[in-house]
Structure 1
Amino acid sequence: MEPLTLIEIDLELARRAAEADSIVATLLELDKHQGLTLVRNYPPSGVTEARWLPVRDALALMWEDLGRMRAILDSARAVRGTRAKLDDGQRARLTELLRGRPHELSRTPIPLVERSLTGPSEHVLFVGLADTLERMRATFPMIAEFLDAVDKVNSRVMTGLAPLQDQLDRAGAATPRLRSIGDGIAELLSRSATDPLALTTAEIDARLAELADALRRESATLAELAAMKANWPAAVAAARARLDAVQATRDRAARAKAEVERTIVSSPLPVSPNDIGPLRAQLDAIADNPDAAPALLDLGGRIDAATSAAAAAEDLAQGLLDRRGELRGRLAAYQAKAARLGVGEDRDVIAAHRIADGLLARTPCDLAAVTRAVADYQQLIAEKAGRRP
């Protein structure tokens, strides 16, 4: 290799030093990249892990290559010094440092079977500034592309979830649905942190839209919580009134149930649970704490369930009692109809009426038997009158 002139040496040294400084600045900027911060803080998995492993090795090699470049440049600066003139040996050495391959990179033993009798026992790999820089330039785009892709996905998720998380933070985990939305947000955050490259843009947008829709559907709940906090005494009083109403319904249901069991043949009616006392105790425990609005809302849901159960029990028992009255009214109406049609004194009609009336008078009354008897009475009237039922 023809030795460089002093001017060429100084120009080459300045150019390589500027390149090294630029690489340092780029690698330091890369070290602060949000994508790199993410994979360092959250060990990657899945698709992201598979892509990260070669990038991690390439990034480590970049720093090693930078160290080699700086070592070569330091050696060149030491040889160059500040002298105004250089002898041929110094110029040859500087030419080798700046243009050749002066740095030993690795030594690899050669298996005995592959050696010649007088050949070397190992392969020695040397590198220089040019090929080191070329390798770094070829490697950098892969690293930057990976980190940008990771950051792009994570930023998209974080930007989309931020307003949703803010709404949840203000509301608290007040309802099962809100807690479920919170779990959904946490799950998406976890995926974007550990395996962002497995998420597609369409999947992210669809999941964000799903969570946003769910949160919008809970807006009424959030408004109700705010209203509770704003007028806490009234909210507590309303809950007490609802518990009183449930108790009143339970009392009516119990009386109707007792009457059914005394007067009507039926399968066992459900027994009302003894939950009003515990519900009152829970209400008393939070009555002086407006910050317990979520607990009051949850309690309200259980009061709703108790109200529905009490109403159903009352409807069932009262329905059986009302059915007996309905059958009695229908029998009287059919009797009047028989008289109007001129068959009221027919012996068969009288007998059918007597059967139905007798079944109605029994205690307990078999409603199924009465229903059949009234239907038979109606049919008989129609037949006697020469009409279809």
Structure 2
Amino acid sequence: MSLEGIDHALRRRTEERDRISGDMLDLDGHPSHELLKGLAATGETARRWEQAQVRLVTLWWLFDAYRRVLDHAEELRAAHRPDIAALTGLLAGPSVELKPDAVPVEKRSLLRAVGEWITLDVVLARMDEAYREVAETIAAVDAAWTDLLPRLDRADAARRAARDLATGHGIADPLLDRVDADAARLRASAGTDPLGSASLRGEMDATAAAAVARRGAMEQAARVREEYAERARLLAERITRVAEAEDEARRIRDVVTAKILAPALPDLPDQAPALRDRLGALATVGGRWLELAERLTGLERGAEEALAQAVRAAESIGGLIGRRDELRGRLSAYQAKAVRLGHAEDVALARLYGAARDLLWTAPCDLRRATVAVAEYQRAITRIGAAG
């Protein structure tokens, strides 16, 4: 190499050394690396971290050898008369000696009896390989913690809120105790073996969901403790409305049965007595606020559903009377149309009209036959109208 080439190569190698030094210091100071260094890792994380530590030793050992060669080259270049041959050998030739006793364990071989001389480029390639392996392990651990810990944090936040409510209101909750135990176990696993805990994501999410559910149960129990008397009073009123709605459905059924022939009626609800019994049974729950909240909320929901069911039944049954009245209206409208068309005295139309009217104004009314009769009368008038 020429002196100019040596200066160029030395400058490039020096910049390369400084960049590598910065990268290695960044790797050493990575937050997850700092945590791993003080971690009693277990499982898959322990296995990967042990391998990474061996590679880290190799990386620093190789970097030290690389740096020593460059330091020596800089000393030679600073001489009054630089030894160009020696500099060329250092920068371009096999200038780094790997002695058998100095080579890291994972690089040794029982068959190697003498040291190995390698170039700076080979040293750089081996450093890059070791760096990548260590960086990949640290990045994998960091990604696992980044994924797992927020899941546990969500569960912890909900658990703490639930626990505060339970303590403040003197509520015992075995289910919350179980969530606490599960969360502690999962956090311990994620803390010491994040790589092996990836398969526990679903369990962590389930624990978080269970914690949120317990918090909701505690909030509900606290509300019930404060509002029980008023909610019980309103519930009693709602059950009374259910009974009234069911009575109304039965009244409408009796009317329809008398006025409509063989109606297809839905089953009539009769839930008010059972709802009253359930309301009375709440008094036996005493101060078990979690159980009381669950039963009271379920009873409130049941009362709402029973009221809606009774109203639907009444509307469905009453619709048969509405159907009869709608047919009566249609028959009257088409009779008026027949008069406008000048066929008020038409014997055939009068016969069809009379048959439909007899069916609609006879109790009980045969809706099926009445519908057919009105349709026949309608078609006859439509044909007259079309003929002009």
- TM-score scaled to structure 1, two decimals? 0.50
Q: Deviations over 1:27-82 (max 9, x none)?
A: xx99995x65xx6xxxxxxxxx55567889xxxxxxxxxxxxxxxxxxxxxxxxxx
1:165 aligns with 2:159: yes
> Residues 71-90 of structure 1 correspond to what in structure 2 (within 5 A)?
none
Tell me if structure 2 keeps the 8 A contact 1:260–1:317: yes
Shift of 1:306: 1.1
Q: Distance in 2 between matches of 1:183 and 1:354?
A: 77
Aligned position for 2:251:
255
Cα distance change on mapping 1:166 and 1:192 into 2, 3 Å: closer
Q: Deviations over 1:163-188 (max 9, x none)?
A: 2334455778xxxxxxx999999988
Cα distance change on mapping 1:308 and 1:158 into 2, 3 Å: same
Q: How many residues align?
A: 254
Aligned position for 1:238:
234
Cα distance change on mapping 1:276 and 1:181 into 2, 3 Å: farther
Aligned position for 1:197:
195
Aligned position for 1:315:
315
Aligned position for 2:359:
359
Aligned position for 1:286:
282
Q: Deviations over 1:141-172 (max 9, x none)?
A: 99x96998877665433222222334455778
Shift of 1:290: 9.1
Q: Counterpart of 2:324 in 1: which secondary structure?
A: helix
1:372 aligns with 2:366: no
Shift of 1:364: 3.3
> Residues 325-336 of structure 1 correspond to what in structure 2 (within 5 A)?
325-336=325-336
Q: Counterpart of 1:385 in 2: which secondary structure?
A: helix
What one-letter code is carried by the residue in structure 1 that aligns with 2:249?
A: A
Tell me if structure 2 keeps the 8 A contact 1:270–1:313: yes
Shift of 1:386: 3.8
Tell me if structure 1 keeps the 8 A contact 2:249–2:314: yes
Q: Distance in 2 between matches of 1:362 and 1:166?
A: 71
Cα distance change on mapping 1:327 and 1:185 into 2, 3 Å: farther
Unaligned runs of 5+ in 1: 1-28, 40-48, 57-99, 101-140, 173-179
Q: Distance in 1 between matches of 2:262 and 2:287?
A: 47
Tell me if structure 2 keeps the 8 A contact 1:154–1:193: no
Tell me if structure 1 keeps the 8 A contact 2:260–2:365: yes
Structure 1 vs Structure 2 CA RMSD: 5.1
Tell me if structure 1 keeps the 8 A contact 2:239–2:303: yes
- After the TM superposition, which segments of 4 or more aligned residues of structure 1 sit over 4 Å from their partners? 29-33, 49-56, 144-154, 167-172, 180-196, 198-201, 221-229, 287-290
Q: Distance in 2 between matches of 1:240 and 1:233?
A: 11
Tell me if structure 1 keeps the 8 A contact 2:159–2:212: no
Q: Distance in 2 between matches of 1:215 and 1:345?
A: 78
Tell me if structure 1 keeps the 8 A contact 2:261–2:365: yes
What one-letter code is carried by the residue in structure 2 that aligns with 1:307?
A: L
> Residues 213-232 of structure 1 correspond to what in structure 2 (within 5 A)?
228-232=224-228
Cα distance change on mapping 1:281 and 1:377 into 2, 3 Å: same
Shift of 1:345: 1.6
- TM-score scaled to structure 2, two decimals? 0.50
Cα distance change on mapping 1:53 and 1:293 into 2, 3 Å: same
Q: Distance in 2 between matches of 1:374 and 1:224?
A: 58
Unaligned runs of 5+ in 2: 1-34, 51-100, 102-133, 167-174
Q: Distance in 2 between matches of 1:148 and 1:319?
A: 67
What one-letter code is carried by the residue in structure 2 that aligns with 1:243?
A: I
Q: Distance in 1 between matches of 2:141 and 2:385?
A: 94
Tell me if structure 2 keeps the 8 A contact 1:229–1:290: no
> Residues 1-389 of structure 1 correspond to what in structure 2 (within 5 A)?
33=39, 155-168=149-162, 196-197=194-195, 228-266=224-262, 268-286=264-282, 291=289, 292-386=292-386
Shift of 1:350: 0.5
Tell me if structure 2 keeps the 8 A contact 1:239–1:300: yes
Tell me if structure 2 keeps the 8 A contact 1:192–1:199: no
Cα distance change on mapping 1:323 and 1:152 into 2, 3 Å: closer
Tell me if structure 1 keeps the 8 A contact 2:189–2:197: no
Cα distance change on mapping 1:55 and 1:313 into 2, 3 Å: same
Q: Distance in 1 between matches of 2:296 and 2:306?
A: 15
Tell me if structure 2 keeps the 8 A contact 1:153–1:197: no
Tell me if structure 2 keeps the 8 A contact 1:269–1:317: yes
